[in-house]
Amino acid sequence: MGRKRTQQGKQIYFYLATLILLGLAGCAFFREFQERQDSRESLQLGRRLFAQGDYEGALRENQKVASLSTNRPPADEAVYHMGLIYAHVENPKRDYRRALGFFRKLIHDYPQSAFVEEAKVWVGVLQMNEKLSQMMEKSKQVDIEIEERRRDKER
């Protein structure tokens, strides 16, 4: 029949189980540490590419950071930089609506971020820009109608 385990045998199982748990926790810690390091490197590369005018490269690096660091820093900074990339006047693929979306996402998803106040300013500026663009378009339409009326009267 089965023998009773000795105190020493129980300790060996305990130590073995503890080692396995520590090994698994260490792997998770190392993986998270590596992801944070990769995120920081991609963020720095994204900043350099942005400064050099490589907006697509900068966007790609910031997207990588946002996917690696979902819902924790430095994802907030990456989202902020994506908004800047789309808002930049020299970016040939600038898209103010997408920029506005990124700034709003930052405000909503990362309310404690250091970038929230700047994002709120950008939201205000981009909304004002949109309103002014609409007003200019209406003004152009009015100018066209006035010109057409003037031509009709001359005939």
Give the number of domains in the chain. 1
Does any domain span residue 2?
no
In 3D, which of 72, 66, 64 has the Cα closest to residue 112? Answer: 72
Does any domain span residue 1?
no
Does any domain span residue 111?
yes
Does any domain span residue 76?
yes
Does any domain span residue 44?
yes
Q: Place 123 in a pLDDT band, splitting at 50, 70 and 90.
A: very high
Q: Which residue has the tokens 């378009």?
A: 137
CATH number of the domain at 88, please: 1.25.40.10
Domain that holds residue 97: 7-154
Q: Give CA–CA dist 108/94, Å, rounded.
A: 22
**More confident: 39 or 116:** 116
Report the percentage of the chain scoring pLDDT > 70: 84
Q: Place 53 in a pLDDT band, splitting at 50, 70 and 90.
A: very high
pLDDT at 70: 79
Q: What digits encode the pLDDT tens for the residues 10-48?
A: 777 776 767 676 666 666 566 676 778 889 999 999 999
